[in-house]
Structure 1
């Protein structure tokens, strides 16, 4: 019996860029497929064991922790089935790399039949999360340039600074309303409004008033629709279609999407009317992201409606949750907070607003954000539905249309990759300190919070800019300390990884 192609051989083919060798390796692997193990040979929990974990042991809202439990029992690759879901879980950086490098030209994160069914019900375009193949790539190519090129993203800095100023005013208002004139309750909720206002200001080129004392009714409805859709999305997908008429979840899911889509469409139509008026007057059309999309003619108006809506969905929680966890850990680690403040103050003295160039001199700021994204990846697990290719992982062969679950949370907490994995240690990301005994060079696929390749997060640059600017300004103005909740706060899974309890903090004015 010939040995199966080793992971090392795959790695050498990829690293050397030898397409011919890589192809020959796959051909050899396919001819030996009958000798390799299959999905049926994978270890994994029974349905009863899964139900026990979810509803008796309490992992229903802690699926990120369940990754670690199952990895310890079954190893770095296992199978899990629940309802219509049949997943191959991979929880080592090398296995994740093998999946990514075999996903084909037009990768699919996951099948979203309930999203597709809603689009069909309303006659809408499919968008980034439902469209596949060349159609998906065409839309993605239109969205990328103004989002991923750093020079283009720099144009959004002034509007983001305006939103950060509103956040500071909001913090001051909340402090003034508290009995001790320092407390801010449920910081995550306030930062969620900041994230929503920030990404909306770019996507819709208008301010929604999320940080006002009295939020406009349409804006409140918009925010609620995002929350409802994300919550219901992970419920609807596990129920078969025949339950739609019996259980309330599908109807509520449709209503949430209707509220979300209708508001986005109204905001886009307002901007489109402005552009048409300017054009009719012979005036030069100026604007930012939405103006570019409406003027570029690369995607249809219907595709713009759904694409901008989906960009909004991905742009809020990344900013709000990451900043919430950053402030939580900095409040509990005065040493780290002092180091960050000193760095910010050295680069931007006298509370000067940071610019994009200033960020180059703030490695510790970037290390803090990286460490938070390692501890709390916004999406604890990502998917890859590989429809075009057969896939080989180590000694296993998988047919086309296998759904892989990339367990980012388990990998980012792996002590072989990150010593003291549960500790908040921004220093591990600093080149000058990474060689300290106990720190090791981690595998590049052990930390991919924004994804990788053509399926990487479109809004990565914008999210980073929002987080850097907001954290800089907050450190300039306040020393942050723990509030009344001194007990550690855990995370929970609601599609995304969020704090299980409100984070209450004290914001004390710096001299």
Structure 2
């Protein structure tokens, strides 16, 4: 972990230094695309503003690196691990995989790859992703919250300042809300499945992989779309199977029709 921390630190230091060099070149008129600003440019500008009253919360390079690290890890690892779980479950349930492939083939065809505009028409694939988020939430205990005031939840007194962890895994595996909670069953989110109206966006508390309320994941919309898009592309482009007697998945390229 210490070695990994140093590698991340050096990597982020390099990105910050490169942005500062570009900003200096732009100010001097030496940079052909000067004037372009991104999130890191804004953060650097805030950290370099003149000091004055009320600047106790001024950003430092350490603050900026911590924020960037959160963006990188929260926005990449969670998405990739969810796609891996989706593929693992599809490999374990070939009938579900075939149904997903038939749907993608009927919407997209075999002469091109999946595009983002195809996603709203892939209803069964969306159900597969919902079931993956339910069965394998990427943040099982959500993120820590702090009680701003004394409150009572389920008969328990929560003191002000207490750190709270919401057990999302327990909620999505509660048999009172989810029949056969350990079973991978995307059909539960299809019409007639009993949970067709349940959404991922924090409105239905029995399924809140991204949290809920004002502290809901800021990257939720992008995360859902990326997981759907990557899973749809892999399901469409490859035939996945688990060979007899082997514990790892394999794949073969699916040749286009015609």
The reply on whether 1:329 has 2:76 as its aligned counterpart is no
The answer to whether the Cα contact below 8 Å between 2:142 and 2:166 also exists between their aligned partners in 1 is: yes
1:291 matched residue in structure 2: 38
Give secondary structure in 2 for the equivalent of 1:354: coil
2: CA distance between counterparts of 1:318 and 1:351?
31
The answer to whether the Cα contact below 8 Å between 1:382 and 1:408 also exists between their aligned partners in 2 is: yes
2:208 matched residue in structure 1: 448
Q: CA RMSD in A?
A: 2.9
Question: Which is worse superposed, 343-352 or 363-372?
Answer: 343-352
The reply on whether 1:389 has 2:136 as its aligned counterpart is no
The reply on whether 1:472 has 2:232 as its aligned counterpart is yes
The answer to whether the Cα contact below 8 Å between 2:210 and 2:220 also exists between their aligned partners in 1 is: yes
**Cα distance change on mapping 1:465 and 1:398 into 2, 3 Å:** closer
The reply on whether 1:312 has 2:52 as its aligned counterpart is no
1: CA distance between counterparts of 2:245 and 2:162?
44
The answer to whether the Cα contact below 8 Å between 1:351 and 1:473 also exists between their aligned partners in 2 is: no
The answer to whether the Cα contact below 8 Å between 2:75 and 2:223 also exists between their aligned partners in 1 is: yes
2: CA distance between counterparts of 1:329 and 1:286?
47
**Cα distance change on mapping 1:351 and 1:454 into 2, 3 Å:** farther
C-alpha displacement at 1:275, in angstroms?
Answer: 4.8
The reply on whether 1:506 has 2:250 as its aligned counterpart is yes
**Cα distance change on mapping 1:324 and 1:484 into 2, 3 Å:** farther
TM-score, length basis structure 2: 0.78
The match for 1:263 among 11, 18, 33 is 11
The match for 2:192 among 412, 420, 433 is 433
2: CA distance between counterparts of 1:374 and 1:388?
29
The reply on whether 1:376 has 2:153 as its aligned counterpart is no
C-alpha displacement at 1:460, in angstroms?
Answer: 2.5
The answer to whether the Cα contact below 8 Å between 2:25 and 2:34 also exists between their aligned partners in 1 is: no
C-alpha displacement at 1:375, in angstroms?
Answer: 0.6
1:190-239 C-alpha deviation (Å, 9 max, x unpaired): xxxxxxxxxxxxxxxxxxxxxxxxxxxxxxxxxxxxxx3xxxxxxxxxxx
- Aligned residues between the structures: 237
Give secondary structure in 2 for the equivalent of 1:350: coil
The answer to whether the Cα contact below 8 Å between 1:382 and 1:405 also exists between their aligned partners in 2 is: yes
Task: Name the structure, 1 or 2, with higher relative contact order (CA <8 Å, separation 6+).
Answer: 1
1:76-475 correspondence to structure 2 within 5 Å: 228=1, 252=2, 255-278=3-26, 280-281=29-30, 283-285=32-34, 291-295=38-42, 297=45, 300=59, 302=61, 303-430=63-190, 432-435=191-194, 444-475=204-235
Segments of structure 1 that go 5 or more residues without pairing to the other structure are 1-227, 229-251, 488-503
The answer to whether the Cα contact below 8 Å between 1:345 and 1:476 also exists between their aligned partners in 2 is: yes
Give secondary structure in 1 for the equivalent of 2:181: coil
Which protein is richer in helix relative to its size?
A: 1
**Cα distance change on mapping 1:401 and 1:466 into 2, 3 Å:** same
**Cα distance change on mapping 1:461 and 1:324 into 2, 3 Å:** same
The answer to whether the Cα contact below 8 Å between 2:86 and 2:129 also exists between their aligned partners in 1 is: yes
The answer to whether the Cα contact below 8 Å between 1:481 and 1:505 also exists between their aligned partners in 2 is: yes
The answer to whether the Cα contact below 8 Å between 2:145 and 2:163 also exists between their aligned partners in 1 is: yes
**Cα distance change on mapping 1:478 and 1:354 into 2, 3 Å:** closer
